[in-house]
Structure 1
């Protein structure tokens, strides 16, 4: 079991006894976030490449949230593999990180692969819907031109992409969202075409009161 989160978060859920999800609204400064971390040279190099602003706040906040969820004062080595997937070489847990504007989200799986995506809901998603959804998916009544439905699909596919953790998986070609009931909080089933064969995954999603959509998958 993971320890209870001590820091203030807007959402905290123990999905099962080995998996935890947390969402944090970023209100701290870069200096406050930096003071909560122990960083080694390879991480300082990453920080220097991000400059200032949201990218740096996002990087720092996901690491602080990860550390808080693991409830440790020890150094946590969070690295990226050759596919860009974050991992913890000293712990072996599965993790996924996401951020959008004022929010950061982390999901940790002790035994199962995980993926999470959070997005600020914007109207411009309508202009790119054909890039990540097939005509069959777009014909579903809960998707079409419904902005919330489009974001549910986007977050679901992004979470699955992160869950898979390997390059080459294409949203439109390889991930099919089955018809679902559009709610403020719900779940859907996706059929994923993987090199080892097709797999069905269940994606949970919810919309926040201030206009963000989040999707996550465990499997």
Structure 2
């Protein structure tokens, strides 16, 4: 399947979405990989992860890049050689990349009951009060995505989702909110955008200016 959609999150940021319908061979034969990427691909035990990895390279091509333009730092964070900011996520049937002039962290999550069951471990469950079962699941999944997005931006050892990253309460219909990182005697603020695609949610975190 071709690119599903391109979403303009703001004047500086695009989110590109790929729905994975191809076989491994179709994806593999459609991209060129540098040696380190090929080795990483071959080390993956799950075909789902392999297809996510390859579909991200298809998204790069859609945006005018190749695998040779992408590299990872010592913490595993992706970068582009032209200094455009990039964040990557994939989950089962979908892959996304976010490209921005701003520092960004993107996360893609499937709606799963397990997320709601473990919600007390990572969020303020008061934020789930007075919601339908469906919206409790959707909101808990957004909150998990918020924490993943903030962590991708900061990527510092020792950051804990429940102890250091805090979502401000929000309505799902607003598709945006704010969050804080309280870590190492500092408080940093983030703007959050989110939306749903089928039974998935994507969340984009931006460092607040």
Q: Shorter chain as normaliser: what TM range?
A: 0.7 to 0.9
1:41 and 2:35 matched: yes
Report if aligned partners of 1:23, 1:103 keep a CA contact under 8 Å in 2: yes
1:171 and 2:165 matched: no
Match of 2:119 among 110, 116, 129: 129
Residues 131 and 80 of structure 1: CA distance in aligned 2, closer, same or farther (over 3 Å): farther
Whole-angstrom CA distance in 2 between matches of 1:129 and 1:153: 9
1:63 maps to which residue? 57
Higher helix content, 1 or 2: 2
Whole-angstrom CA distance in 2 between matches of 1:47 and 1:169: 28
1:9 maps to which residue? 3
* 1:15 positional shift: 2.5
Whole-angstrom CA distance in 1 between matches of 2:179 and 2:67: 37
2:72 maps to which residue? 80
* 1:56 positional shift: 0.4
Moved over 3 A (4+): 142-145
- Which residues of structure 2 form unaligned runs of 5+? none
2:103 maps to which residue? 113
Report if aligned partners of 1:138, 1:144 keep a CA contact under 8 Å in 2: no
* 1:163 positional shift: 1.9
- CA displacement, residues 32-69 of structure 1 (integer Å, 9 cap, x when unaligned): 22222221211111111014510100111112212211
* 1:170 positional shift: 1.4
TM-score by length of 2: 0.87
1:25 maps to which residue? 19
Residues 178 and 52 of structure 1: CA distance in aligned 2, closer, same or farther (over 3 Å): closer
Whole-angstrom CA distance in 1 between matches of 2:156 and 2:191: 19
Residues 52 and 152 of structure 1: CA distance in aligned 2, closer, same or farther (over 3 Å): closer
Residues 143 and 22 of structure 1: CA distance in aligned 2, closer, same or farther (over 3 Å): farther
| Aligned 1:117-196 pairs, distance under 5 A | 117-133=107-123, 137-140=124-127, 141=129, 146-183=136-173, 186-195=175-184
Query: RMSD of aligned C-alpha atoms?
Result: 2.2
1:215 and 2:203 matched: yes
Report if aligned partners of 2:60, 2:67 keep a CA contact under 8 Å in 1: no
Whole-angstrom CA distance in 1 between matches of 2:141 and 2:2: 26
SS in 2 for 1:12: strand
Report if aligned partners of 2:34, 2:68 keep a CA contact under 8 Å in 1: no
SS in 2 for 1:15: strand
Residues 18 and 29 of structure 1: CA distance in aligned 2, closer, same or farther (over 3 Å): same
TM-score by length of 1: 0.84
